[in-house]
């Protein structure tokens, strides 16, 4: 995922029951490419529940995200 595009891994959380949230930063196109590759890789070993890209997070959301 990180090798597929110019993005930075800023964190991940195991949220229980085998679910994992992965957060990356970069320009929108690079993040979209990275999440596409990551979803394909995850689908090979299990089930992908959701993939979501927030193009320009609101300042209030930005405060809650880990820094790169």
Mean pLDDT within 29-50: 96
Nearest to 67 by CA among 8, 2, 5, 6: 8
Taken in order of first residue, the domains within the chain and their CATH numbers are: 8-64 (3.30.70.1710)
Is residue 43 over pLDDT 90? yes
Q: Indicate the pTM of the whole model.
A: 0.83
Distance (Å, whole) CA 58 – CA 8: 19
pLDDT tens by residue, 3-35: 889 999 999 999 999 899 999 999 999 999 999
Residue 12's pLDDT is 92
């Amino acid at each position: 995922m990180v090798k597929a595009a110019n993005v930075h891994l800023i964190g991940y959380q195991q949220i229980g029951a085998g679910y994992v949230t992965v957060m990356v930063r970069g320009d929108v196109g690079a993040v979209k490419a990275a999440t596409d590759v990551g979803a394909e890789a995850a689908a090979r070993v299990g089930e992908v529940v959701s993939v979501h890209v927030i193009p320009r997070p609101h300042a209030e959301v930005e405060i809650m995200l880990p820094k790169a």
